[in-house]
Chain A
Amino acid sequence: MEAIIQPTAAIWKVLETVCDPEVPVLTIVDLGIVRDVQTSEKGAVITITPTYSGCPAMDVIRIQIKMALAEAGIKEVEIKQILSPAWTTDWMSEEGKKKLHAYGIAPPQYKVKDDANIEDTHPPCPQCNSVDTRLVSEFGSTACKALFQCNDCLEPFDYFKCH
């Protein structure tokens, strides 16, 4: 039987169903973690890049990619990791940013080149949309987030920091 080569577009579709385990509202495609997809007669080669070096989600994401592709009938999957160019929030899709805000996490407000000072950043509160917000701590529940608080509704919230 001849091997069927899956078109890369079909594989991208499958990858769009794989969510980040720590930010389950975003897919790994929304986040810009998937850098390249190649197919061959044997299967697929997926190139990913970590968000932060120590992000524990990366090991889970590898397993999830293999499982999702296996379910789609692609058994031979090689996952390569690259570090350069280093991951940046600039790659996050607009769709992903909207989903983040709706989920309760303020999305990155700037591009990295803006070199914005996080203390002068006032992301709209995901609860009440007020921009009267302040930085509590540059480090949050995961490496990619900082902790903010809304001065109007007083709710604390996570901000996905520009990186």
Chain B
Amino acid sequence: MSQTMIQYEGKIAQIVQEDPMLQFLLYAGDNALITGHRCSEWCGHGPILEQDIAISNIALDYIGAARNFYQLAATRIQAKDPSLEVTEDTLAYLRDAWDFKNLLIAELPNGDWAQTTIRVYFISSFQWLFYQQLTQSSDADVAAIAEKTLKEVKYHLRWSREWVIRLGDGTEESAKRLRQALTFLWPFTGEAFKEASYETATSSATTIQLAKLHELWKQELQEVFAEAGLEVPTQQAFQSGGKTGKHTEYLGYILAEMQFLQRAYPGASW
């Protein structure tokens, strides 16, 4: 066990800074990790046992997807400079909030069950389309992760879609809670479709076309919201920043908890 883990700052950060594909991998990995972390907060607190198990399983899938992206990024960083000691853990535990590229919607608090499930719905409905395009990537490693993750996102989407419909079309109270959650989260739903510089620079390799994704995503929303008795909001979903490292205060608290052990005891392992 090494006494000091290499810091993210310096050389590793510089290598990432110069390579848009590495930034894209971190963007995809960070979305998965932070969404997974939020879902994992429900473990032991779910409204009923089956749903506690469901969201804990979903958390596990997300964290698994994050590991795949981080492992690939770490391997590629190391290939650029074999003297560096960089692993998936370096990327998860030693970057600070401004290095994280996850969408803001992923880091917002869980709130109640309505807010949690509609957030998973917004994220998984986007990812369902995102990973479908990504399976076409000319980068074989990226396409393989997408192929693997897509099979799991299918479950997340089906589960969260059912919850949105059940709550929206449920009791007066459940519908009220869902509408409140929608009002709170809606401004954060646009960021996924605003292209960051690393997405533009990698678009020929990833084959991701955000404008096309946005159209398909709006259709998906129309269908599910109609069934849930919800109106698709017309106001602008204006919040953004996460993709380029400008986060809400919530991310700092997530990282403080998640990274505490590695910061306090560098290099600690099981």
Do A and B bind? yes
Residues in A with CB closer than 8 Å to B67 are: 53-54
Cβ of B113 under 8 Å from chain A = no
Write out the residue numbers on chain A whose beta carbons fall within 8 Å of the beta carbon of B59: 54
CA distance A58 to B37 in the complex (A): 20
- Provide the B133-155 mask, 1 if CB < 8 A to any CB of A, else 0: 00000001001110111011001
A83 to B131 alpha-carbon distance, docked (Å): 14
Q: Is the CB of B144 within 8 A of A83?
A: yes
Interface locus among B49-57, B99-107, B208-216, B252-260: B49-57
Judging by beta carbons under 8 Å apart, are A143 and B60 in contact? yes
Decide yes or no: A138 and B158 within 8 Å by CB, A82-B144, A86-B151 being known contacts.
yes
- The A interface, classified by DSSP as helix, strand, loop or mixed, is loop
Residues of A within 8 Å of B, CB-based: how many?
22
Q: How many residues of B contact A (CB 8 A)?
A: 28
Q: Which residues of A contact B28 (CB under 8 A)?
A: none
Q: How far is the CA of A147 from the CA of B51 in the complex (A)?
A: 11
Closest to B140 in A: A84
Chain A residues positioned under 8 Å from B143 (CB to CB): 84
Residues of B close to A74: CB separation below 8 A? none
Q: Closest residue of chain B to A112, judged by CB?
A: B151
Q: Which residues of A are found within 8 Å of B186, using beta-carbon distances?
A: none
Distance between A136 CB and nearest chain B CB, rounded to angstroms = 6
Q: A138-B155, A138-B158, A143-B57 in contact; A84/B147 too (CB < 8 A)?
A: yes
**Chain B, Cβ-Cβ closest to A163:** B151
Question: How far apart are the CA atoms of A163 and B65 in the complex, in Å?
Answer: 16
CA separation between A56 and B59, bound complex, in Å?
12
Nearest first, the 5 A-B pairs at minimum CB distance are: A54-B64, A53-B64, A84-B144, A54-B60, A137-B50
